[in-house]
Amino acid sequence: MIAREANILLLKINARDKFPRWTTPEDLAFAAREWAEDLTDVTLDDALVAMREHYATSSERMTIADVIAGCPIRDSSWAGNVTELRLARDTHTLPPGGDDVA
């Protein structure tokens, strides 16, 4: 995520929070840079999905940790499934008669 995308995310979060956190353009710009730095591996689309899911079940303020927890790129069970799929795909069976290659 880059600062411009984080700015979009924070504007949407501000609209959903009971008490907006970033009340000046300077506050918002600073927060966007900080959030972008912490969310470099998260896409805006994934962050928006995490935001919608968060506010669908919670009235608490959203944090960077909430975004990360709600994104599949950082979810350990998702990463484990990808690793298992790669291992299954990359497993080579040996030809009958051993491992000698002609």
Helical spans, DSSP H, in 17-75: 25-38, 44-57, 64-70
Residue 60 inside a domain? The answer is: yes
Domain boundaries, position 25: 3-89
Angle between helices 3-16 and 25-38 (to 10 degrees): 120
Q: Which of 83, 32, 42, 82 is nearest to 66 (CA)?
A: 42
- Structure-model confidence comparison of residues 44 and 73, the more confident one: 44
Per the structure, the count of domains in the chain is 1
Residue 27 inside a domain? The answer is: yes
Please state, in angstroms and as integers, the Cα–Cα distance from residue 18 to each residue in 11, 14, 31, 45, following that order.
Answer: 13, 8, 18, 23
Residue 66 inside a domain? The answer is: yes
Residue 45 inside a domain? The answer is: yes
Residue 100 inside a domain? The answer is: no
Least confident span in 23-27, 37-41, 80-84:
80-84
Residue 51 inside a domain? The answer is: yes
Predicted local confidence at residue 35, as pLDDT: 97
Please give the model's pTM, rounded to 2 decimal places.
0.69
